[in-house]
């Protein structure tokens, strides 16, 4: 069914209507998807990365002046400024940062795997996790000082046991400095190094290194499409934690039980991050869609970040009407959004049908905003459809699974003939001989092994 650009009631400038009632078969082909790549942004990102690789700090300083409007002598921010900023913020803000950091740490400690030993007749396999030595956290800052993102990346890295935690964040254009709340969050999270640089150039600096920024082992954190593309471009030279953590996304599924204000504000919550994301409302009752859409118009008109909200909704804001609750979940699974909210009377009946979402928030008292700050799990979530195969940032993104194999002579004698047989079948003579040679020596030395 073709998209109807006439919106519900008075919503013409805010939400686009997509009426899928009566559509037969799969709904996915009828759903629009934003295109974040394309030749132009990829080409721009590659040029920025090449500049940083070739010219190091000089390129970072030049690009910060040209793209952020800030002139710097150095991209490094002294550690002393973290504690100074912590003293400047209000007691209420400091407490909020500490509460959030504590909950994030407590939740992520549940993800730590204890060493495991598996033993089978003399074959001993020990496995354990080893943290990377150096993690780089990207914190967006162009449109808002996202101290929460610093906590949601740096704290899990610390819990994982990373030795050095590095943060890159763009400076504030108006002041030329990093915002105090970001610096204070760095103090709370125990960040080791912070650099006043943003965008694709920050990703390049952390991946390849400059005179000031030593390269890291893993890069994490969300960003705009240029940041997300840059992470994809440097993958392989450095580990990239979580999949395509790009512009913010939300799908709110609402039924007649919902307070229209709640559903509306939760659509707006992610839209206020700015362009290139998506904000969807999905209903199986057109009157609910009308009521929520009208509230979106009202709340947007009075929002301080009205321009950012309208930009997102103009490009990727949809009010979708389907026939059944099951079809609403089908829409959500096809979009695979970063945030999924089930604002319905019986969410448990739908929750089992959810397959593709970065995180799901159930009921009227569990808005995604709680997940963004204090629930505990990281708010760095897969976007742009990657929730089909990827998950939220976890401790596992900062660790490597390592195993140690040790066999007794008897265990080797029992397993080696199978090694030799399989290796011979593959035509790998040296593999086979590495087993048979030892079997021969074992037999000759003990007289207990017969071939």
- The catalytic residue positions are 338-339
First to last CA, the chain: 72
The candidate with the shortest Cα–Cα distance to 325, out of 262, 256, 250, is 256
Q: Name beta bridge partners: 164.
A: 134
Backbone angles phi, psi at 253, to 5 degrees: -100, 125
User: How far from 45 is each of 41, 53, 224, CA to CA, in Å?
Assistant: 6, 12, 12
User: Is the separation of the CB atoms in 264 and 11 below 8 Å?
Assistant: no
User: Is the separation of the CB atoms in 17 and 30 below 8 Å?
Assistant: no
Alpha-carbon distance of 127 to 118, in angstroms, equals 8
User: How far from 70 is each of 75, 172, 173, 176, 177, CA to CA, in Å?
Assistant: 11, 8, 6, 5, 8
Alpha-carbon distance of 158 to 108, in angstroms, equals 10
Q: How many CB atoms lie within 10 A of CB 280?
A: 25
The candidate with the shortest Cα–Cα distance to 347, out of 337, 334, 332, 358, is 332
User: Is the separation of the CB atoms in 147 and 185 below 8 Å?
Assistant: yes
- Structure tokens of 224? 């705009």
Q: Provide the CA 163 distance to its chain's centre, in angstroms.
A: 21
Do strands 339-343 and 249-254 pair parallel, antiparallel, or not at all (unpaired)?
Answer: parallel
């Amino acid at each position: 069914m073709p998209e109807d650009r006439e919106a519900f009631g008075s919503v013409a400038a805010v939400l686009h209507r997509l009426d899928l009632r009566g559509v037969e078969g799969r709904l996915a082909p009828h759903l629009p998807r934003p295109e974040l790549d394309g030749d132009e942004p990829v080409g721009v990102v590659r040029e920025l990365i090449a500049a940083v690789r070739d010219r190091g700090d000089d390129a970072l300083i030049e690009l910060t002046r040209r793209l952020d409007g800030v002139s710097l002598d150095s991209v490094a921010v002294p550690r002393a400024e973290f504690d100074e900023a912590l003293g400047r913020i209000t007691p209420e803000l400091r407490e909020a940062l500490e509460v959030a950091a504590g909950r994030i740490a407590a939740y992520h400690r549940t993800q730590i795997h204890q060493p495991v030993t598996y033993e089978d007749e003399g074959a001993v396999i020990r496995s354990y996790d080893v943290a990377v030595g150096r993690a780089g956290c990207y914190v967006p800052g162009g449109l808002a000082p996202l101290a929460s993102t610093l906590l949601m990346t740096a704290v899990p890295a610390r819990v994982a046991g990373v030795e050095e935690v590095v943060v890159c964040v763009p400076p504030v254009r108006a002041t030329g400095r990093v915002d105090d709340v970001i610096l204070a969050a760095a103090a709370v999270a125990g960040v080791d190094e912070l650099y006043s640089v943003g965008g694709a150039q920050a990703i390049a600096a952390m991946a390849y290194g400059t005179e000031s920024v030593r390269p890291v082992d893993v890069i994490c954190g969300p960003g705009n499409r240029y940041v997300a593309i840059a992470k994809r471009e440097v993958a392989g030279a450095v580990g990239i934690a979580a999949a395509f953590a790009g512009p913010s996304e939300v799908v709110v599924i609402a039924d007649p039980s919902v307070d229209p204000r709640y559903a509306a504000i939760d659509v707006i919550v992610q839209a206020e991050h700015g362009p290139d994301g998506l904000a969807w409302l999905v209903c199986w009752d057109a009157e609910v869609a009308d009521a929520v859409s009208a509230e979106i118009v009202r709340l947007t008109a009075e929002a301080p970040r009205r321009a950012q909200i309208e930009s997102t909704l103009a490009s990727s804001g949809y009010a979708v009407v389907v026939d059944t609750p099951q079809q609403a979940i089908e829409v959500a699974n096809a979009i695979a959004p970063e945030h999924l909210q089930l604002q319905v009377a019986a969410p448990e009946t739908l929750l089992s049908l959810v397959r593709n979402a970065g995180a799901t928030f159930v009921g009227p008292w569990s808005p995604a905003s709680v997940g963004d700050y204090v629930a505990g799990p990281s708010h760095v979530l897969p976007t742009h459809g990657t929730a089909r195969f990827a998950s939220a940032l976890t401790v596992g993104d900062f660790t490597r699974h390592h195993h140690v194999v040790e066999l007794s002579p008897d265990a080797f004698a029992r397993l080696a003939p199978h090694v030799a047989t399989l290796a011979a079948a593959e035509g790998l003579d040296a593999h086979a001989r590495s087993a048979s040679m030892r079997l021969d020596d074992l037999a000759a030395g003990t007289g207990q092994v017969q071939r």
